C-alpha cells in the first residue's frame, strides 16, 4: 500500500510539472489581453466580475468536466491525444463507412492545429515572462525580444541531450509556481473579498448580455485561460488518469482559480495595474523574483510542448501521415524520450519568426486562441463518435454529453476567428501547410501501393513455379522486406535475375502498423511456413511502438525460427518515385510527394537494421 501511495504521489508530482505547465502559465497574459484597449472592453466592476466569472466557470466546464471527467475516459489502450483519439474513432466505424474519411480529415486538422499551438506556446509564454522586466524598469523594454530569443535558442539547442536529467526538477518548480499563484491570489482576495461575487455564474451571463458583440470578441481572449487543456489528455499514457486528475483538482485548478480571482481583486483596487496585472500583484519588490520564476515555468511549459511535438510526429509517421524521419532516443530507460532534429530546428525557426514578427504577448494572443479552440472542437467531435459507435451509448446521451461542450467550443472558435487578421492567420497558415503535406503523403503512399499491387506477382504462385526447377541455394538467410500489398519483392526478383542463386533460407518480412497505440509483445509476431525453407513473418506494431527488426528476429526463436545476425542479409528495394502526368494527384502534389519520398529516412535505418547487413536495390514506381 505504501509503494502504491508513493508511486501515485510521484506520478502526480510529475504530472504537475509536465502536464499543467502550459495552462499553468496562462495567468501571465490572459486578463491583460482580455482588457486590451483594442478590444473595446471597458474595465469596470461589472465587466471585471463577468470576465473572472467566465474564466472560473470555463475552467470548471471545459477543463474539469470536458477533459478531466469525459475525454480522459476515451483512452486508446491507455493512450490519449488527438492522434490516439482519431485512431479510436476510425476503429469505431467501418472503413467503408462514409464517416471514415471525414473523421480522418478531422483528426489530421486537429493534429495540425496542435502543431500551430506548439509554435505559439513557447513564443507567447517566454515573451510574457520576460515582459515582467518592463514592469520593473520600462527602460528594459527593448531587451524583451532579444532575451526571449536567447532563452528559446538555448532551450531548443539542448533538446538533443534529452530531458531525463532535468525532468526531475520540473515537478518541484511547477509546484513552487502554483504555490506562488495561490499565495498571490489569496493576498489580493483578502484586500478585496468582494471579487468572490464572481463565483456566481450570473455575472458571466450578464456580462455576455450587456456587452453583446464586444463580449463575444472578448471570448477570443478568455480562451487563453484554457490553453494546455489538450495536454492533460495527450499525456495520459505517460502518467495515467488518476495522477492527472489528482494534479488538476489538488494543485492546478485551485491555484489558477485563486490567482485569477486575485488579479481581479487587484484590478478592482487599482485599475491602472491592467498594463500587466500578474507582475503587480505583490508590489515592485516581487517583480524580479517573479520574472525568474515565470521564466523557469514558461521554459518547462515550452519543453512539454516541444516533447509533445516530437511524440505527435512519431505517431504521424507510424500512421502513414508523414515520411520517415531520423528519430534519436535520448534516454536508455524511457522509450518516450525522443528527439527529431528536423522537427526541432524547423519549429525553432517558426517560433523565432513569431517572436520577432509579433514582438509581444498581446500581439500573439490572437494566434494562440484559434489554434487551441480548433483542437478543442476537433476533440469534442471525435469523442462523440467514440462514445456512440465504440461504447455504444444511447444516442440521446451521446448528444447531451458532447453537444453541450460542442456549443461552447463553437462559440470559442467563432470568437477566435475574429482575430484572423490579427495573428490568427499564422496557425491556420501553418496548419494548412501541414494538412496538405500529411494528406499528400498519405494519398501518394496509397497510389504507390496501388501501382505495386497492380504489377505484383502473387508470392505463393511464384514460389510454386520457382521450385519446379529450383535455383542453386547458398548458405545463410535472406530477409526481404515486403510491403503489405506487395507480391514477390522486387529485391528478390533482382537477386534471382542477376545472381541466379537463392539463400538456403528465405524470409519475407511484412510490417503492419495498426490503428492502436501498442501491440503486446506476445502478439507482435506471426510466422507462416511457405515450404522449401521459405517463411512469411508478419509483424504487428502499434503507432507508438518502437520499430526494431533485430529484436523481432530474436523473438522469432520462440516460434522455432532462429536467426544468426552475422549470417543474415537484408534485401531492401529502395523505391524511387517518379511522377506520371494525368494520374492520381495534381501535378504540384505529385512533385511534393516525390520530393518527400527522396528525403525520407531509409527503411533499414528506420527499422534499426544493422547497415552492414543491408543490400539495397533500386526500383522505380510511378504515381
Q: Where are the domains of the chain?
A: 10-443, 455-622
Please tell me the least confidently modeled range out of 159-163, 391-395, 475-479, 535-539: 159-163
Alpha-carbon distance of 9 to 3, in angstroms, equals: 10
Give the CATH fold of the 10-443 domain. Answer: Amino acid/polyamine transporter I (1.20.1740)
Q: What is the pLDDT at residue 5? A: 46
Q: What is the pLDDT at residue 6? A: 46
* Closest among 375, 376, 360 to 427, alpha carbons compared: 375
* Closest among 261, 249, 102 to 186, alpha carbons compared: 261
pLDDT in tens, 76-123: 777 788 888 888 888 888 878 888 889 999 999 988 988 888 888 899
Q: What is the pLDDT at residue 270? A: 92
Distances (CA, A) of 22 to 17, 28, 226, 300, 301: 10, 11, 9, 8, 5
User: Please, which residues bridge with residue 577 across strands?
Assistant: 621
Distances (CA, A) of 564 to 21, 291, 526, 569, 616: 48, 59, 19, 10, 20
Instruction: Flag whether pLDDT at 559 surpasses 80.
Output: yes
Alpha-carbon distance of 105 to 118, in angstroms, equals: 20
Listed in sequence order, the residues at least 6 apart from 1 whose beta carbon sits closer than 8 Å to its beta carbon are none
In terms of pTM, does the model score above 0.75? yes
Q: The dihedral of CA 205, 211, 213, 216: what is its sign?
A: negative
Alpha-carbon distance of 527 to 336, in angstroms, equals: 29
> Cell match 471597458: residue?
42
Q: What is the pLDDT at residue 261? A: 97
Q: What is the pLDDT at residue 482? A: 87
Share of the chain above pLDDT 90, in %: 41
Alpha-carbon distance of 265 to 282, in angstroms, equals: 12
Instruction: Flag whether pLDDT at 205 surpasses 90.
Output: yes
Instruction: Flag whether pLDDT at 587 surpasses 50.
Output: yes
Q: What is the pLDDT at residue 333? A: 53
Alpha-carbon distance of 321 to 436, in angstroms, equals: 10
Q: What is the pLDDT at residue 165? A: 59
> Using an 8 Å Cβ cutoff, are 182 and 258 in contact?
yes
User: Please, which residues bridge with residue 618 across strands?
Assistant: 574
DSSP 8-state secondary structure symbol assigned to residue 79:
B
Instruction: Flag whether pLDDT at 234 surpasses 90.
Output: no
Comparison of pLDDT for 6 and 207, the residue scoring more: 207
Q: What is the pLDDT at residue 3? A: 43
Listed in sequence order, the residues at least 6 apart from 91 whose beta carbon sits closer than 8 Å to its beta carbon are 390, 515, 516
Confidence at 395, pLDDT banded by 50, 70, 90: very high
Alpha-carbon distance of 264 to 269, in angstroms, equals: 9
Alpha-carbon distance of 83 to 92, in angstroms, equals: 14
Residue 534 dihedral angles phi and psi, to the nearest 5°: -115, 140
Q: What is the pLDDT at residue 384? A: 93
> Using an 8 Å Cβ cutoff, are 93 and 390 in contact?
no
170-191 and 287-318 helices, crossing angle to 10°:
130
Listed in sequence order, the residues at least 6 apart from 482 whose beta carbon sits closer than 8 Å to its beta carbon are 459, 489, 508, 509, 510
Confidence at 64, pLDDT banded by 50, 70, 90: very high
Question: What is the rounded average pLDDT for all residues in the chain?
Answer: 87
Q: What is the pLDDT at residue 78? A: 74
Instruction: Flag whether pLDDT at 1 surpasses 50.
Output: no
Alpha-carbon distance of 596 to 437, in angstroms, equals: 9
Query: What burial letters (b/e) apply to 349-373, b meaning 16+ CB within 10 Å?
Result: ebbbebbeebebbbbbbbbbbbbbb
Section 577-596 average pLDDT: 78
Q: Please give the full DSSP string across 377-398, using - where no structure is assigned.
A: HHHHHHHHHIIIIIS---HHHH
Alpha-carbon distance of 590 to 596, in angstroms, equals: 10
Instruction: Flag whether pLDDT at 265 surpasses 70.
Output: yes
* Closest among 320, 375, 356 to 85, alpha carbons compared: 375
> Cell match 525520407: residue?
600
Q: Pseudo-torsion of CA 360, 361, 363, 367, nearest 10°?
A: 140
Beta strands 472-481 and 525-531 are unpaired
Q: Coil, helix or strand for 288?
A: helix
Share of the chain above pLDDT 70, in %: 95
Confidence at 331, pLDDT banded by 50, 70, 90: low
Distances (CA, A) of 213 to 36, 49, 222, 414: 15, 18, 14, 12
Alpha-carbon distance of 356 to 350, in angstroms, equals: 10
Confidence at 607, pLDDT banded by 50, 70, 90: confident
Section 278-287 average pLDDT: 88
pLDDT in tens, 511-532: 998 878 888 888 999 999 999 9
Distances (CA, A) of 585 to 190, 231, 433, 444, 558: 65, 35, 17, 8, 45
Please tell me the least confidently modeled range out of 3-12, 333-342, 487-496: 3-12
Amino acid at each position: 500500500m505504501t509503494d502504491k501511495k508513493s508511486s501515485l504521489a510521484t506520478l502526480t508530482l510529475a504530472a504537475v510539472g509536465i502536464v499543467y505547465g502550459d495552462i499553468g502559465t496562462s495567468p501571465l497574459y490572459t486578463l491583460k489581453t482580455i482588457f486590451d484597449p483594442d478590444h473595446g472592453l471597458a474595465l469596470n466592476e461589472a465587466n471585471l466580475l463577468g470576465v473572472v466569472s467566465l474564466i472560473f466557470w470555463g475552467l470548471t466546464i471545459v477543463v474539469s468536466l470536458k477533459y478531466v471527467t469525459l475525454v480522459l475516459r476515451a483512452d486508446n489502450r491507455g493512450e490519449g491525444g488527438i492522434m490516439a483519439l482519431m485512431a479510436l474513432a476510425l476503429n469505431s466505424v467501418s472503413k467503408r463507412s462514409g464517416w471514415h474519411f471525414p473523421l480522418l480529415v478531422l483528426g489530421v486538422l486537429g493534429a495540425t492545429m496542435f502543431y500551430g499551438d506548439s509554435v505559439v506556446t513557447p513564443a507567447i509564454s517566454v515573451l510574457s515572462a520576460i515582459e515582467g522586466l518592463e514592469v520593473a524598469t520600462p527602460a528594459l523594454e527593448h531587451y524583451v525580444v532579444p532575451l526571449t530569443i536567447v532563452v528559446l535558442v538555448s532551450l531548443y539547442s539542448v533538446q538533443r541531450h534529452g530531458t531525463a536529467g532535468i525532468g526531475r526538477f520540473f515537478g518541484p518548480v511547477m509546484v513552487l509556481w502554483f504555490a506562488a499563484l495561490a499565495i498571490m491570489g489569496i493576498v489580493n482576495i483578502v484586500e478585496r473579498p468582494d471579487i468572490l461575487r464572481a463565483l456566481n455564474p450570473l455575472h458571466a451571463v450578464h456580462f455576455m448580455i450587456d456587452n453583446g458583440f464586444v463580449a463575444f470578441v472578448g471570448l477570443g481572449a478568455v480562451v487563453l485561460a484554457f490553453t494546455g487543456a489538450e495536454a492533460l489528455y495527450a499525456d495520459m499514457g505517460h502518467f495515467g488518469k488518476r495522477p492527472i486528475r489528482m494534479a488538476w483538482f489538488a494543485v492546478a485548478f485551485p491555484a489558477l482559480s485563486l490567482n485569477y480571482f486575485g488579479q481581479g481583486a487587484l484590478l478592482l483596487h487599482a485599475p491602472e495595474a491592467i498594463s500587466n496585472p500578474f507582475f503587480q500583484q505583490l508590489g515592485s519588490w516581487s517583480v524580479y523574483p517573479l520574472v525568474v520564476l515565470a521564466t523557469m515555468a514558461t521554459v518547462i511549459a515550452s519543453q512539454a510542448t516541444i516533447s509533445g511535438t516530437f511524440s505527435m510526429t512519431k505517431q504521424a509517421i507510424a500512421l502513414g501521415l508523414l515520411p520517415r524521419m531520423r528519430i534519436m532516443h535520448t534516454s536508455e530507460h524511457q522509450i518516450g524520450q525522443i528527439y527529431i532534429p528536423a522537427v526541432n530546428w524547423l519549429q525553432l525557426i517558426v517560433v523565432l519568426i513569431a517572436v520577432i514578427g509579433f514582438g509581444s504577448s498581446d500581439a500573439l494572443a490572437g494566434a494562440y486562441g484559434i489554434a487551441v479552440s480548433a483542437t478543442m472542437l476537433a476533440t469534442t467531435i471525435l469523442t462523440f463518435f467514440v462514445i456512440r459507435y465504440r461504447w455504444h451509448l444511447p444516442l440521446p446521451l451521446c448528444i447531451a454529453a458532447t453537444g453541450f461542450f460542442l456549443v461552447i467550443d463553437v462559440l470559442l472558435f467563432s470568437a477566435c476567428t475574429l482575430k484572423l487578421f490579427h495573428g490568427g492567420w499564422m496557425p491556420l497558415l501553418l496548419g494548412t501547410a501541414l494538412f496538405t503535406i500529411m494528406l499528400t503523403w498519405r494519398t501518394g503512399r496509397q497510389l504507390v501501393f496501388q501501382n505495386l499491387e497492380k504489377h505484383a506477382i502473387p508470392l505463393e504462385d511464384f514460389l510454386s513455379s520457382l521450385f519446379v526447377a529450383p535455383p542453386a541455394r547458398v548458405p545463410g538467410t535472406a530477409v526481404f522486406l515486403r510491403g503489405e500489398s506487395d507480391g514477390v519483392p522486387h529485391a528478390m526478383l533482382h537477386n534471382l535475375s542477376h545472381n541466379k542463386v537463392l539463400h538456403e533460407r528465405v524470409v519475407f518480412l511484412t510490417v503492419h502498423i495498426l490503428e492502436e497505440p501498442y501491440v503486446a509483445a506476445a502478439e507482435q509476431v506471426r510466422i507462416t511456413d511457405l515450404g522449401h525453407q521459405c517463411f512469411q513473418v508478419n509483424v504487428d506494431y502499434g503507432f507508438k511502438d518502437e520499430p526494431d527488426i533485430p529484436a523481432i528476429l530474436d523473438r522469432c526463436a520462440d516460434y522455432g525460427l532462429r536467426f544468426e545476425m552475422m549470417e543474415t542479409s537484408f534485401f531492401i528495394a529502395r523505391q524511387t518515385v517518379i511522377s506520371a502526368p494525368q494520374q492520381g494527384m495534381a501535378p504540384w502534389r505529385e512533385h511534393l510527394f516525390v520530393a518527400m519520398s527522396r528525403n525520407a529516412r531509409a527503411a533499414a535505418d528506420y527499422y534499426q537494421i544493422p547497415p552492414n547487413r543491408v543490400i539495397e536495390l533500386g526500383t522505380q514506381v510511378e504515381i
